[in-house]
Chain A
Amino acid sequence: MSTLDTFFNMGGHGAFIWPCYAFAALLMGGLAINSWQSLARRKRQLAHLEGQRAAIKKATVTGAQKKEKP
């Protein structure tokens, strides 16, 4: 048996040990990806909303100035 096979076999308990590490990687990796994706999505949403708000404010101010100058 090669060194690599011995390592993955883990004394005959590889079938229990590796699923633990794989599950931990999936669960914690998934949680990390989900958290960062959610933050990035909300950053985009907020930037979009703030852009809209600034545009509306600008349009309101311009409209009011036009009304003042006949």
Chain B
Amino acid sequence: MHRFANPGRFLRLADAILPWVCGATVLSFAVGLYWALFASPADYQQGETVRIMYLHVPSAWMSLFVYIVIALAGASSLIWRHPLADVAAKSAAPIGASFAFLTLVTGSLWGKPMWGTWWVWDARLTSMLVLFFLYLGHMALMHAFEDQTRGYRAAAILALVGVINIPIIKFSVDWWSTLHQPASVIRLDGPTIDPSMLWPLLVMVLAFKLFFVTLLLVRMKSELLAARIRALSLAAVRTA
């Protein structure tokens, strides 16, 4: 892993894989959306609103996954001073925040016809809202200090402390009595969801994951260029 810590090597690797990941993202979204909207059945209880699940579940899983990525990047930055760790965390945070926000909005739009309410302060929904605020806090901290390194360090600490919220979100439906239904895919006794809905869901999960990787590579490249621009501008000011 440390072999790729060199920004130059990372940029070459990113340039080589980006077209492939981008193509795979478009393809998996095309297949996933066709399956989700046209080729999968309506649910016997939820009816057609089950189609919201194909957006809601992948975005919820990704919002948790991206937060773990940010926390790991934070740990790498604090412990090993990994030169790309802060760049990765800074690049991933807006993507994760967007996934968390999408989860909240799609959940709300599903909740109204199914539960009869847009929002309830139950454990799952509230912990998900906390995750969204953690993302916003992380992004704010990264830009809060004149000395960029201090901002990155503070954001890394917040990311590590906030990891406690991840198992709370995952197990909130088991630990507390909530309106949100329990897990139906990642379970010890196997998924309870019918394969005709499980497969399109898994393709959409893959599409969201590839979308994240594509944008992460683009944003990390952009951040590395921004660092080079800052260094060159500073050098120009010094020589002037």
Tell whether, in the assembled complex, residue B232 and residue A53 are in contact, meaning their CB atoms are under 8 Å apart: yes
Q: Could you mark each residue 26-44 of chain B with 1 if its beta carbon is under 8 Å from any beta carbon of chain A, else 0?
A: 0000000000010000100
Of B104-112, B128-136, B182-190, the stretch lying at the interface with chain A is B104-112
Tell whether, in the assembled complex, residue A46 and residue B232 are in contact, meaning their CB atoms are under 8 Å apart: yes
Q: Could you mark each residue 56-86 of chain B with 1 if its beta carbon is under 8 Å from any beta carbon of chain A, else 0?
A: 1001000000000000000000000000000
Tell whether, in the assembled complex, residue B109 and residue A42 are in contact, meaning their CB atoms are under 8 Å apart: no
Q: Of A21, A31, A32, A39, which one neighbours B225 at CB under 8 angstroms?
A: A39
Given A17-B49, A20-B106, A24-B59, are A39 and B98 neighbors across the interface (CB < 8 Å)? no
Tell whether, in the assembled complex, residue B109 and residue A10 are in contact, meaning their CB atoms are under 8 Å apart: no
Nearest residue in B to A50 (C-beta to C-beta)?
B232
Contacts of B95 in A (CB 8 A): 31
Q: Does B48 contact A (CB under 8 A)?
A: yes
* Chain A: minimal CB distance from B217 (Å): 9
A14 to B51, CA, bound (A): 10
State the majority secondary structure of interface residues on B.
helix
Contacts of A45 in B (CB 8 A): 225, 229
Tell whether, in the assembled complex, residue B218 and residue A31 are in contact, meaning their CB atoms are under 8 Å apart: no
A38 to B48, CA, bound (A): 38
A42 to B229, CA, bound (A): 8
Nearest residue in A to B232 (C-beta to C-beta)?
A49
Given A13-B113, A20-B55, A49-B232, are A43 and B48 neighbors across the interface (CB < 8 Å)? no
Q: Of B37, B48, B56, which one neighbours A11 at CB under 8 angstroms?
A: B48
Given A42-B222, A42-B225, A46-B228, are A28 and B98 neighbors across the interface (CB < 8 Å)? yes
Q: Does B164 contact A (CB under 8 A)?
A: no
Contacts of A23 in B (CB 8 A): 102, 105-106
Tell whether, in the assembled complex, residue B225 and residue A27 are in contact, meaning their CB atoms are under 8 Å apart: no
Tell whether, in the assembled complex, residue A20 and residue B221 are in contact, meaning their CB atoms are under 8 Å apart: no
- A residues neighboring B (CB under 8 Å): 10-11, 13-14, 16-17, 19-21, 23-24, 27-28, 31-32, 35-36, 38-39, 42-43, 45-46, 49-50, 52-53, 56
